[in-house]
Amino acid sequence: MVGQRKDAEMQRRGVLSFALVCWLAVSAPAAEPQVREAELNRVEVIERVAPTVVAVFAKGGAGGGSGVLISKDGFALTNFHVVSGLGPFMKCGLNDGVLYDAVLVGLDPTGDVALIKLLGREDFPVATLGDSDKLEIGDWTYVMGNPFLLATDFQPTVTYGIVSGTHRYQPPAGTWLEYTDCIQVDTSINPGNSGGPLFNSAGDLVGINGRGSFEKRGRVNSGAGYAISINQIKFFHDQFKAGRVVDHATLGATVTTESDGTVVVNGILETSDVYRRGLRSGDELVSFAGRPVRSVNQFKNILGIYPKDWMLPIVFRHEGERREIHARLRGLHAKTELMPGPRTQPKPRQPMPKKDKDGKPEKTPDLPQTPPADPHAEAMKKAIPEQWKDWFVAKPGFANYRFNQLEQDRVFAPLKGFGDFASAAGSWRLSGQSMAGDKFELTIAVKGVGLEIRDAAFFQQLEDTDPADEPQGTGGFLIAAHQLRLLLQAGAKGFSECHYFGSEPIDGRGELTDVIVTTMGAIETRWFFSRASGLLVGLDSRLLEDAEPCQIRFESWNDFSGRRLPATWRVTSGEKEFATLKVEKADFAGKK
């Protein structure tokens, strides 16, 4: 009986095996074209994007990583930790077999991003920037680059895998490097892949590879790699291009999660913008920059992708009342931290090396490695050609001030078309009426500024007197008006310091504007220029650090006796409007 059952079971299994073979025989021809098509698509994408992948090497050949081109004139993204030890110039190879000179442009020590520029061409191949927020878990991705610095022939290595997680937070591990809102992939990221591109299945650039979780010995990839999202990099791009060493934002407040799951403020700086605009300890955070806040980790992720000094919307509940404010964010680090000593670029703090079971120090996973024998070593040892020597200008606070000078020239160029203000050396008298119907006269002279409005007169002396908040509650409107005169008359030369900040959405809304920052004594002014028209659309002027600024927004630039001036001035401070002034007449012929 038992033998019969065994025979029957074997017969049943045989029938099933035969059926499976038959099914595979029938199905395989149908599946094969789909598999072949997917394979051809992968090959096509890889061939299309490979020319944009950069192999980065130190000028002397000892160290490097990867990168990716994002503009035809040679700007390329990589990691901060890849270039931090290479100096202002480096060598970069592309899969066309050519080794190019490259220069450092901008640095982000916290976000682990750097911008470099390859030199010698204006027609480099360019990667298409994607939208990293559209990535979903399970999406296919490609990692390309120079793992273990093997790409000495400049042909990038390719690995293929899926998105394992999105919006991941990787805290600092003994350095400044903090990965916020990053992308986790099982696509192999190995030492040397740092700074290289993460492409989606369509070949769009969605991230810059940086960290990997490695086995303790041998630096073997464990299947968990992390890439900085391209959407975060977009927020900082114009600051990088300005040759700056950038910083990330902090709120000026700490948060915690309550037992009911709400995220509340448990500490706040009274000098912060958020405090001045009404946020208090115990308030519940609802959303930040338009994204809901449901945990401390999520809040850190959102906050960490924005630059210092951006103004962004914050929604919170104060004693049950829902409120919305727009606040300017503070910096995560002091300037002295980002620029220690006289160096032109920061040096990350490294953790004490751990030891393995044999008592030998373990290698730190993300530092540049010594490359294998390089057939191009002699070429890389050559001095930077004389033609590139002017591409680097050292200045404290900047990775490469040369690029900031270029951006200042670009933004200030339209001012020349506003008319000859340099010859208007006398008093400027602007008159008209406010939107409320009040007549006004604003006099901007060399030695003082005066305003008559609403049967009241205000005056600010400019010599031997500290700047004052006049009219009171405006944040110093009279001083701000004088700053405008200086800008129109002398441009950058009218101030003790001037630099191009980058871009930001004015008032935390709408399109990005170009931002110039000037200082004169303690007075700091942010100037906002439309990227479409080149016109000045506003300014924020602070009398002192952490003071509420005077905010003026300009509209309708008109011609006044051959000189163009804004015809509408909306003056606010601390989100309270002082007046909207409509300029009807401008006289530049007054005495000094």
Is there a catalytic annotation at residue 248? no
- In the set 66, 101, 108, 112, the catalytic residue is 112
Give the SS3 label for residue 458. Answer: strand
Give the SS3 label for residue 422. Answer: coil
Is there a catalytic annotation at residue 434? no
Measured CA distances, 227 to 156, 235, 366 (Å): 18, 16, 13
Distance (Å, whole) CA 92 – CA 58: 9
Distance (Å, whole) CA 76 – CA 70: 5
Distance (Å, whole) CA 104 – CA 401: 10
Distance (Å, whole) CA 440 – CA 152: 70
CA-closest candidate to residue 212, choices 161, 253, 254: 161
- In the set 66, 81, 108, 167, the catalytic residue is 81
- In the set 66, 84, 188, 194, the catalytic residue is 194
CA-closest candidate to residue 110, choices 25, 236, 255: 236
- Fill in the DSSP letter of residue 455: T
Tokens standing for residue 99 = 């080794």
Distance (Å, whole) CA 331 – CA 248: 6
Distance (Å, whole) CA 93 – CA 67: 10
DSSP notation for 255-304: EEE-TTS-EEEEEE-TTSHHHHTT--TTPEEEEETTEE--SHHHHHHHHH
What are all long-range contacts of 528-537, with beta carbons under 8 Å and residues at least 24 apart?
A: 529/411, 529/414, 531/503, 533/414, 534/411, 534/413, 534/414, 535/414, 536/415, 536/487, 536/566, 537/506, 537/513
Is there a catalytic annotation at residue 81? yes
Give the SS3 label for residue 134. Answer: helix
The two counts, helices (H) then strands (E), for the chain are 9, 31
Burial 184-216 (b: 16+ CB within 10 A, else e): bbbbbbbbbbbbbbbbbeebbbbbbbbbbebee
Residues whose CB falls within 8 Å of the CB of residue 97, separated by 6 or more in sequence, listed in order: 153, 154
Q: Which helix (H) or strand (E) holds 499?
A: strand 497-505
Tokens standing for residue 446 = 């060399």
- 383 in Cβ contact with 393 (< 8 Å): no
Length of the chain in terms of residues written:
592
Active-site residue set:
81, 112, 194
